[in-house]
Structure 1
Amino acid sequence: MPPRRAAEALLLAALLTGGAACGSRLPESDFDSPPSPTRSNAAEPIRVGIIRSATSPVGGAAFSGPGDGAKAYFDALNAKGGLDGRRIEVVTCDDGGSGVGNNECVHKLLDERRVFALVATTALEYAGAPLVAKAGVPDIGGQPIGPAYDTYPHLYGIYGSLAPRAGGKPGWNGTLYGGTEVYRYFAREHGARTAAVVSYNQAASAAYARMITQGLKAEGYRVVGEQVDFALPNFRAVAADIRQQGADLVFDAMDTHGNAQLCEAMDAVGVRVTAKVTNVQNWASSVPKDFKNAPSCRNALWVTGSSRNHDDVTHSAVREFREAMKGRELSQWQLEGWAAAMWFTDAARSCAADLTRACVERFVNRPEPYTARGLLLPVGYEKLAEPPKTRRTCLSVARWQDDKGWVTQGGEMTENCFTVPQLPYQP
């Protein structure tokens, strides 16, 4: 299973009841009312840090969305009086997409600015994760680009985790597991049986492609592997072979620029597929601009994920997000960053007058899964001694249409579920 979903832990635990003490079992609806600024510490801001690879070598736009969404949430919260009368002070740091820069950001935010927590971390190389864990600073709702959120305590990725997370090796002695629900969905809903997987001849891209291939084969697909040179890609040759092989689906392990080039080549040679399945980083309103030269392929773009479609204006929480982001290009990662900030805020609010890091983590670690008012599929943390062999997993699905934007597919995401095998991989 691709890394973007391998960390997901959609825990369907029974709701527990409890008091309003620190780490309570209160349902999320109990946090809908604005707080009253009646506490003695009302004048003191709560400082949170956001680390992102805004100027990374692979392009800053890919890693800015979660931080933008989180900051928008905190700005909106402050405009309503803050958290129980306390303003949220956001301190950002750009690590430049390097391990050295990431360690510098961790030092700056934890040691110099003394942030209470990190929120919506989006780091290309999260080298400072061991330092965050050692300091006991909660990192809430980060994007699991690497294995850090399945390795270290005090780190809580936006998709949850079942892994032990004791430090050292990620997952279960260096092995992580992911499901095949994405491939099961396209087989069930569209009868797809042949899939092309396109990657660069670059280590990370090739490894990503291998995981996609493993999942597809487990679901009975015939897989056509396609690889292009990272420096001089010949997408026209790849597109021609995809057409000859009669692929129903096209998956990729590439960035937005590579996706756009592939789509242009597919249009040029007349490739028509059921779905060109892209990743959550490309689930954005910039599609018309990014894929402007590939109208046919553009309207075959599909995406899967673990959060509610940011174009689903029928949902009240989505409308609130969109109102706060008005005037900007929107993306799914922004919505997930918004949800991460909400998660931290709900956890902090549960502590009442006794706001501590331990209290915030007790809320995040509670058995009741978190949904950010329905923006996320249920998220939770459970340290399993052994990985599950199968799991019931749900997914959010959308497709692009020029006249409508991203249109939700498969019905309500909490009901678009499959019991699928969990396949091992080494991150």
Structure 2
Amino acid sequence: MRLTAYRRAARRAGPVAAAALLLALAGCGSRLPESAFGPPAAGGTGRATDTGAGPGTVKVGIVTSLTSPVGSETFAGPRFGALAFFRALNDAGGLGGRTVQVVTCDDGGSGIGNQDCVHRLVDRDRVFALVAGSVLTYAGAPYVSAKGVPDVGGQPVGTAYDRWPHLYGIYGSSAPRDGRAVGWDGTLYQTTEVYRFFKERLGATSAAVVSYDQADSARYARQIEQGLRAEGYRVLSRTVDLALPGFQAVAAAMKADGTDLLFDAMDTRGNAALCQALDAAGVRLRAKVTNVQNWSDTARTDYRDSPGCRAALWATSSSRNYADTGHPAVRAFRTAMARYYPQREDLLSAWELEGWAAAGWLTDAMRSCGADLTRRCVTAFLGSGTPYDAHGLLLPAAFAPQPRPSGPARACLDAARWEDAANGGRGGWVTQVPDMTTTCFDVPQLPYRP
């Protein structure tokens, strides 16, 4: 199986340009104001302008691995975030007289299922674009690209978003993406800002990396180890059996090593079981560093049986903390989620916020076309090279092919730490940086082959 975390932390190369298209988001009450979605376009078109773009509606598709082998919640977040955005947008008047009609498809976490979803949405439902995809295996990517269907804000689990044109992952890309080799002749690059951050913030000098004896898990673990060593860490590497992981032995090795930080290349199930073994062995970490996939309110229950490990839980990402309701864009997201999906209060996550941001990205691209809404116009917006920050929710991202990376790059991050409930509160994720746009480092760009 391929786990979301394996692709998520491999940051793309290329300089981060100044933010553009920064618009204020605000939302309160039962109806979100027009300003939450940018200025309204003038009137309805009264005519169809492209596939899926009719006179009164525009149809978009979302493919999600809801019933995947790794669980129903693993990939669900972006779907709900995007659905909340479009419901709020429609309640605020829609897109220039058009209502956004969303068609969803569950691919079951298989390549065949993904191809079936793609053909169903593109050929039968004739959607204008895809958005906020989060799938285990994106086998339908070549067909989506060949049909010229914009796919906006997808989660880069595999390598599709680093290879195919018309696919625009949530973090942007500076790779050629010409449909031939992935990245630069089969090579991608990662930066090391996460490891630099913990070295400077916590004074950490040693780290453990734990992975399954499975190809994707092991490959991602090697990337983490490469980054840690580049930043001068002493690294303890441990591999466990996917079916019967021996976490007690890992905990004993970490205790003997005096490990400062723990990074993993596992799913939530493995994380929770490892933390139980660490607590039982009396291992005390400066930080257990998880990734954006596991940045979720479910930490409250996932680590119920390992409070010591949970107290050391940190998460890093390229998007804003979904708990930072002081930020207007986050507040708009939380208002919409509470209104449309109140049952997900204990399941809120960074991925849901990124699904909302993906829907906003597609909406702003469509709005740029005015009444003449076409795929060509949306593609021109996405490929313009202008950095986009989803109204302050993302670090500025763009799609502008660059030469093969060399030398250091300026890379930024967001970071939060879990804090347990106190004085009757719920507890949750507390941001640990002044702002993700200013928490930046000049770090090396390290090549790897996915």
Smaller-chain TM-score bracket: over 0.9
Q: What corresponds to 2:403 in structure 1? A: 385
Answer yes or no: is 1:45 the counterpart of 2:68. Answer: no
Q: Displaced runs of 4+ in structure 1, greater than 4 A?
A: 26-31
CA distance in 1, matches of 2:433, 2:145: 38
Give 5+ residue unaligned stretches, structure 1. 17-25
Aligned AA (2:350): Q
CA distance in 2, matches of 1:5, 1:388: 20
CA distance in 1, matches of 2:327, 2:12: 23
Q: What corresponds to 2:50 in structure 1? A: none
* 1:378 CA drift (Å): 0.5
Alignment coverage as a number of residue pairs: 418
* 1:78 CA drift (Å): 0.8
CA distance in 2, matches of 1:85, 1:72: 19
For the residue of structure 2 that corresponds to 1:335, the secondary structure is helix
2:430 corresponds to which of 407, 410, 427: 407
* 1:12 CA drift (Å): 3.6
CA distance in 2, matches of 1:187, 1:107: 47
Answer yes or no: is 1:73 the counterpart of 2:85. Answer: yes
Q: What corresponds to 2:203 in structure 1? A: 191
Residues 85, 388 of structure 1: alpha-carbon distance in 2 compared, 3 angstrom cutoff: farther
- For 1:122-141, what aligned pairs fall within 5 Å after superposition? 122-141=134-153
For the aligned residues, what is the CA RMSD?
1.7
* 1:212 CA drift (Å): 0.4
Aligned AA (2:395): L
Q: What corresponds to 2:10 in structure 1? A: 6
* 1:366 CA drift (Å): 2.2
TM-score under structure 1 normalisation? 0.94
Residues 315, 88 of structure 1: alpha-carbon distance in 2 compared, 3 angstrom cutoff: same
Q: Deviations over 1:289-337 (max 9, x none)?
A: 1111011111111011100000111101101101111121201000000
Q: What corresponds to 1:418 in structure 2? A: 441
Residues 125, 263 of structure 1: alpha-carbon distance in 2 compared, 3 angstrom cutoff: same
Residues 162, 278 of structure 1: alpha-carbon distance in 2 compared, 3 angstrom cutoff: same
The share of aligned pairs that are identical, in percent, is 58
Answer yes or no: is 1:270 the counterpart of 2:279. Answer: no
Q: What corresponds to 1:21 in structure 2? A: none
- Maintained 8 Å contact 1:7/1:178: yes
CA distance in 1, matches of 2:206, 2:139: 38
Higher mean C-alpha deviation, range 35-44 or range 349-358: 35-44
- For 1:158-237, what aligned pairs fall within 5 Å after superposition? 158-237=170-249
Q: What corresponds to 2:337 in structure 1? A: 325
Higher mean C-alpha deviation, range 215-224 or range 396-405: 396-405
* 1:36 CA drift (Å): 4.6
CA distance in 2, matches of 1:15, 1:423: 25
Q: What corresponds to 2:262 in structure 1? A: 250
CA distance in 2, matches of 1:413, 1:344: 23
Aligned AA (2:410): R
Give 5+ residue unaligned stretches, structure 2. 25-34, 48-53, 422-426
CA distance in 2, matches of 1:267, 1:375: 35
* 1:387 CA drift (Å): 2.2
* 1:365 CA drift (Å): 1.8
1:294 corresponds to which of 306, 312, 325: 306
